[in-house]
Amino acid sequence: MRVLVVEDEPMLSFRLQQVLEAAGFAVDTAHDGEEGWFLGDTEPYDAVVLDLGLPKVDGVTVLNRWRGAGRTMPVLILTARSRWSEKMTGFNAGADDYVTKPFEMEEVVYRLRALIRRSSGHAQPELTCGGVRLDTLGGKVTIDGIPVQLTAHEFRILSYLMHHQGRVVTRTELMEHVHDRHFDSDSNVMEVLIGRIRKKIGGGTIETVRGLGYRIGPPESS
């Protein structure tokens, strides 16, 4: 899954990026509201971590612009403001959740995973397809109860497909949601990674829909 972190404090931004990447996310960062707004408006993120006190354009204004433009990705607000009225301002602008500074890094990870899962229509933290089980909170995959070791890239691909079970996911969409914006999208890395995942979880789990993309699970009913 791909997330955007909009935070102007360099050390906090760097630490968030480190922790989120270690948790299996592809991460882009922005350090002011103007850059954050542009990236959120032009790139397909699965979720955003947004600080309210940003230079150039404040976080609430950024969020209002996104929602006004029809951008629906879940947004987790970071705020040093503990007053309820100030938190309500964020919710009224379209935020989905918030954490108050200072916070535990693990809390951001768990809240993001929950937001992404719910935005994809899944209420339970464990996603299943046949014998494949993906624990969205713990970031673990098992096959018939046996743990499977996946690389970070492999986990992001499998996670995205399982969050969108039954739907054909195009190669372009998959590339956009599992790699950051600096990744070389012209490479054949996606096909190689899909092949590696199939070897680890079983060749029949991920279906190639010729000319369209990839799908996990039975087709969605029309």
Percentage of residues in the chain having pLDDT higher than 70 = 95
33-52 pLDDT, tens digit per residue, is: 999 999 999 999 999 999 99
87-104 pLDDT, tens digit per residue, is: 788 888 989 999 988 889
Q: Provide the β-strand partners of residue 88.
A: none
Question: What pLDDT score was predicted for residue 28?
Answer: 96
Which segments within 9-74 are labelled E, that is strand? 26-30, 47-51
pTM of the model: 0.84
Residue 68's pLDDT band, with cuts at 50, 70 and 90, is: very high
Question: Cis omega (within 30 of 0) on the bond before 55?
Answer: no
Dihedral sign, CA of 218, 190, 37, 77?
A: positive
Q: How far apart are alpha carbons 16 and 206 in whole angstroms?
A: 32
Residue 82's pLDDT band, with cuts at 50, 70 and 90, is: low
Residue 56's pLDDT band, with cuts at 50, 70 and 90, is: very high
Boundaries of every domain in the chain: 2-119, 126-216
User: Tokens standing for 165?
Assistant: 């079970």
140-194 pLDDT, tens digit per residue, is: 899 988 999 998 889 999 999 999 998 999 988 888 888 777 666 655 788 888 9
Q: How far is CA 151 from the centre of its chain?
A: 16
Burial of 15 (0-12, 13-18, 19+ CB in 10 A): middle
Percentage of residues in the chain having pLDDT higher than 90 = 57
Q: How far apart are alpha carbons 126 and 124 in whole angstroms?
A: 5
Q: How far apart are alpha carbons 111 and 219 in whole angstroms?
A: 29
Work out the widest C-alpha separation in the chain, in whole angstroms.
Answer: 54
Question: What pLDDT score was predicted for residue 30?
Answer: 97
- Given 3.40.640.10, 3.50.50.60, 3.40.50.2300, 1.20.140.10, which CATH number is that of 2-119? 3.40.50.2300
Q: At what angle do helices 189-201 and 152-163 cross, to 10 degrees?
A: 80
What is the CATH T-level fold of the domain 126-216, as seen in this structure?
Answer: Arc Repressor Mutant, subunit A (1.10.10)
